[in-house]
């Protein structure tokens, strides 16, 4: 009998991308591996990507973890990178521990992944030290994200803040614009490119093109989250066309 895994996601209420890109990658994996997946979400209210709304939203994550554990999900992903990073250095470890404990208390223990933690861990997996970062946020929030990544031990040698304040508009950003944005950055000395430091900004269609154009490994928050979820389920982290991290090499 085929094994079916339940993928749970804690999602900002205005996020429309994580529930498309994560399933898209896992559905691609289904074309080359036998495991099957179903997708389940619980939402936290958030419309504008500003620090006050992010903090209020994060307070709802405990409820979401309990709701998803009611469905007995096999892994739980917190799908908002900036909400975690806006709460202070290293907060992804705090959030992951707290939310896992909520699932344990609900007698439905599940590993918890945060997109923030998955991204910084993915850079370690591919042995990247120097990176460039593309983010959709306003400049102060982008600088906060860059500082968080630096605090985890990486050198951010260049970054771009696309300064899109409305979260729905972030989802409408055309991923076809990303290769040109990267080409205008100082990526030549980078070990890797963080093409989307945001799970709301679509990037999946551009990953292979940016890797081909730059000759650099490309990581996104969604790709890193997918990798971390597969690893937590003890499954081979391989997805066709999703970049070097999901090539099967790691």
Query: Phi/psi at 80 (nearest 5 deg)?
Result: -155, 105
- Residue 195, helix vs strand vs coil: strand
Contact between 35 and 27 under an 8 Å Cβ cutoff? The reply is: no
- Please report the sign of the dihedral spanned by the C-alpha atoms of residue 31, residue 32, residue 36, residue 41: negative
Task: Say how many Å lie between the first and final Cα of the chain, rounded.
Answer: 27
Q: Please tell me the distance from the alpha carbon of residue 217 to that of residue 219, in angstroms, as a whole number.
A: 7
Q: Which of 11, 65, 110, 198 is catalytic?
A: 198
Contact between 70 and 40 under an 8 Å Cβ cutoff? The reply is: no
Structure tokens at 6: 């339940």
Is 64 annotated in the active site?
no
Q: Please tell me the distance from the alpha carbon of residue 125 to that of residue 192, in angstroms, as a whole number.
A: 11
CA 205 to chain centre: 15
Helices (H), ranges, 18-59: 18-29, 51-58
Structure tokens at 179: 């290769």
CA distances from 122 to 210, 217, 222 (A): 18, 11, 11
Structure tokens at 151: 């605090």
Is 198 annotated in the active site?
yes
Closest CA to 64 of 223, 73, 199: 73
Q: Which of 22, 28, 76, 80 is catalytic?
A: 80
By annotation, the residues acting in catalysis are 80, 198
């Amino acid at each position: 009998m085929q094994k079916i895994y339940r993928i749970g996601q804690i999602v900002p209420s205005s996020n429309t991308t994580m529930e498309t890109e994560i399933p898209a990658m896992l559905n691609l994996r289904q074309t080359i591996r036998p495991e099957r997946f179903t997708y389940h979400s619980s939402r936290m209210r958030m419309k504008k990507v500003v620090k006050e709304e992010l903090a209020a939203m994060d307070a709802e994550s405990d409820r979401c973890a309990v709701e998803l554990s009611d469905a007995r999900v096999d892994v739980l992903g917190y799908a908002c990178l900036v909400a975690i990073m806006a709460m202070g250095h290293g907060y992804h470890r705090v959030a992951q521990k707290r939310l896992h404990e909520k699932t344990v208390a609900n007698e439905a223990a599940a590993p918890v992944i945060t997109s923030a933690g998955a991204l910084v861990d993915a850079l370690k997996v591919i042995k990247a030290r120097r990176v460039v970062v593309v983010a959709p946020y306003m400049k102060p929030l982008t600088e906060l994200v860059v500082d968080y990544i630096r605090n985890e031990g990486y050198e951010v040698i260049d970054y771009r803040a696309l300064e899109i304040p409305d979260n729905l508009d972030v989802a409408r950003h055309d991923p076809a614009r990303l290769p040109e944005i990267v080409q205008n950055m100082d990526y030549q000395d980078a070990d890797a490119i963080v093409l989307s430091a945001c799970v709301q900004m679509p990037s999946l269609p551009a990953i292979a093109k940016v890797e081909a154009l730059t000759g650099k490994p490309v990581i996104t928050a969604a790709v890193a989250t997918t990798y971390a979820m597969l690893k937590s389920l003890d499954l081979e982290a391989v997805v066709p066309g999703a970049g070097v991290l999901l090539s099967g090499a790691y």
